[in-house]
Amino acid sequence: MPGGARETDDQRARRVLAQRARALAVPPAAPPGESLDLVAFEAGPERFAVAVGAVLRVERVTALARVPGAAPDVIGVLSVDGRPCALVDAPALLGAARASAPRRWAIVLGERSPEVALAADTVDLLRVLRGELSAAAPPRLGITADARVVLDGAVLTGGADRPPAGDDRP
């Protein structure tokens, strides 16, 4: 075989390998069931998120009643649709110091009625792939690649042991 033919085979092999490498480098599209829509929020320097399905609504914190002797993570109680709802500081819930400055937003969790609210400085929406979450202990659902703590809404509302809505089991 002349040297030119061998060079053509090498070039073709390199081209095929480069095409395969490019094809393998593209991450596969995730099936819709594997993505997780989150309400992302910041509380002080910490970054958190909770599944959209656990959120009843997001509202501004206006009137807040302090509760003497409450747990360190409870900032106070606010009225949501005329019902009392504990406003919780997420960093304090996980053992960090509670913020001294008031938080502007309440992320109200609950299925049909307000059960607990998470205090936040900023609020946004985020979508992540479930498989990209690192494992974490409750009340964390996981941790994103950019170190955002995803909280488990069912654990926070006490619904982790409850049957799903519409389930008539005792």
61 neighbors 129 (Cβ within 8 angstroms): no
Q: Is the pLDDT of residue 107 over 70?
A: yes
**Residue 60's pLDDT is what?**
96
Q: What's the pLDDT tens digit per position in 59-72?
A: 999 999 999 999 99
Give the pLDDT confidence score for residue 28 in this predicted structure.
57
With DSSP H G I counted as helix, E B as strand and the rest as coil, what are the percentages for the chain, rounded to 5?
25, 35, 40
Q: What is the mean pLDDT of residues 50-61?
A: 96
The full DSSP string for 88-142 is E-HHHHTTSPPPSSPPSEEEEE-SSS--EEEEESEEEEEEEEGGGPBP--TTEEE
Residue 38 CA to residue 77 CA, distance in Å, equals 24
Percent of the chain scored above 90 by pLDDT? 60
**What are the residue boundaries of the structural domains of the chain, listed by start?**
33-156
Q: Read off the tokens for 41.
A: 């929020």
**Is the domain covering 33-156 a CATH 3.40.190.10 domain?**
no
Q: Can you tell me whether residue 1 is helix, strand or coil?
A: coil
